[in-house]
Chains A and B, each alone.
Chain A
Amino acid sequence: MIKILRYSFYDLARSRWSYIYFLFYLLLGFVLLFLNSNLSKAIITLMNIIIVLTPMIGTIFGVMYFYSSREFTELLLAQPIKRGTIFLGQYLGIATSLSLSLLAGLGIPFLIYGVWQSSEIWNFGMLLVAGTFLTFIFVALSINISLKNENKIKGFGYAILLWLFLAVIYDGIFMISLVVFDDYPLDQFTLLASMLNPIDLSRILILLKLDISALLGYTGAVFSKFFGTGMGTVISFTVLVIWTFIPAWSMLKIAGKKDF
């Protein structure tokens, strides 16, 4: 599997888009630090960007890479390699390459700024952890969609819709239902609703760590009230891990049954 991972990784690493993605984060990091000249504020701004952007880039790259590497996949399928190995290797190759762009792109400016010596290092670390989780989750989700759709345009469309739904529409529906069912106890509903959306979950994970109650929002507040900060962090982290495994597992399931 390591061989497949390596080839996918290098294939992506050689493409222009990985560098653009990396340079974007590099620039973003420097600009934010320059404008805010305050680590904590920069981290909050960055959070809002990361929880929307990493899923989007994960989705787009996942779909794009999957469709464009179809020849490579078919070539591998005729070789003595397990199917699961081929798809797991490619998935990990894409997700690792994107995560490295994120880690290096943001890591470099923040390290130069001296995040290592500051108390914000753990908050910054949590931000990168959440971004990495989201990358892995959304790459896996988008490969699921591409495996199910032979038609590129359709696959691309569904993948973008999924991202749009989880990043934007989900919150809207959630807010509306909070208003509509105002008279009912909504704590458990809120907990469930936020666990079903990895983007919400990552936001909560970061905010619990930042410990700024004003920014927690309704879901975060319920989380911290229900579980406390420590337990809330552990639970949201665990659910994110589950969120990473389920789409990867289902990707292998679908790939195992597919005809090429």
Chain B
Amino acid sequence: MINTENLSKRFGQVQVLEDINFTVENSGVIAVLGPNGSGKTTILKIILGMVIPQSGSVDFGNASILGQWKYRRQIGYLPQIARFPDNLKVRELINMIKDIRGEPANEDHLINLFGLNKFLQKRLGNLSGGTRQKVNIVLTFMFDTPLLILDEPTAGLDPVSLIHLKELIEKEKKKGKTILITTHIMSLVEEIADEIIFLLEGKIYFQGTVKQLEKMTGQNDLEHAIAKVLREDD
């Protein structure tokens, strides 16, 4: 589904990504992990066409994405920081995105699920961070897209919403979708990820299953496995 070759990106003097090669073939949940500033968000934004790589190629379903836009119909994106126009109301924002995408959307059950009904007529600028994140989730999941890109979806969520989110991800996975997710919550990764891509200083350090990483590092849970990798790196 996604294939990158020799992907490199530099922001000014900082080499964020260096020669990234990876392929995502199957459906399932792929967790992109790595310490802060390792280039997780940059990879996701390159797949979305928001960041333009210095060199290398990205293919989505056998066609290059560079300069393209139609392929984004097949992607739902949840940005890391839920930033919306402050003066819009939640309902207006949802309707606007629906209007712009012009695709059938299924937002009602998501609004109910996250208890957003009472916020629909509130301005986005007045919402709390967690509520805004819930709006973010609704906007991402309301379209039926084969690929979901979730950048830190758990940020600011309360435990109940976190459970709802996990169920939502499981449900989408069962439908045969591919879900790319970044997070710092290792228990979440252990719970839902089929595969992990571990980034370190702009390079792919490891790609495989959680079990494989644990075996490689000789640890018996993911948190310690990753901590070990990071400590060895220092």
A residues sitting closer than 8 Å to B (CB atoms) are: 3-4, 7, 11, 14, 69-72, 74-83, 257-260
Contacts and interface: CB of A to CB of B under 8 A. Distances in A.
**Most chain A CB neighbours (cut-off 10 Å) among B48, B79, B83, B85:** B85
A11 B45 contact: no
Interface stretch (B29-37, B70-78, B193-201): B70-78
B70 A260 contact: no
A188 B75 CA distance: 56
A78 B101 contact: no
A75 B84 contact: yes
Contacts of A4: 100
B79 A257 contact: no
Contacts of A14: 87
A79 B51 contact: no
How big is chain B's contact interface, by range? 20 to 34
Interface of B: 11, 45, 48-52, 69-73, 75, 77, 79, 83-87, 96-97, 99-101
A226 B11 CA distance: 51
B85 A74 contact: no
Contacts of B71: 80
B11 A71 contact: no
A214 B97 CA distance: 56
Contact of B50 (A69, A71, A259): A259
B52 A259 contact: yes
Contact of A80 (B45, B51, B69, B96): B69
A83 B73 CA distance: 14
**Most chain A CB neighbours (cut-off 10 Å) among B49, B51, B100:** B100
The secondary structure that dominates the B interface is: mixed
Nearest to B74: A80
A77 B85 contact: no
A71 B93 CA distance: 12
B127 to A, nearest CB: 13
A77 B100 contact: no
Rank and list the top 6 A-B pairs by shortest CB-CB distance, nearest first. Answer: A80-B72, A71-B83, A78-B77, A80-B73, A259-B51, A260-B50
A78 B79 contact: yes
Contact of B85 (A3, A71, A258, A260): A71
B48 A77 contact: yes
B101 A259 contact: no
Contact of A3 (B69, B87, B99): B99
Contacts of A82: 69
A258 B83 CA distance: 19
A130 to B, nearest CB: 33
A152 to B, nearest CB: 15
A259 B72 contact: no
B83 A74 contact: yes
A2 to B, nearest CB: 11
B85 to A, nearest CB: 5
Given A78-B75, A80-B70, 15 more contacts: A7-B96, A11-B85, A11-B87, A71-B86, A72-B84, A74-B83, A75-B83, A75-B85, A78-B77, A79-B97, A79-B100, A79-B101, A81-B69, A82-B69, A259-B50
A25 B147 CA distance: 51
Contact of A81 (B45, B77, B87, B100): B100
A75 B73 contact: no
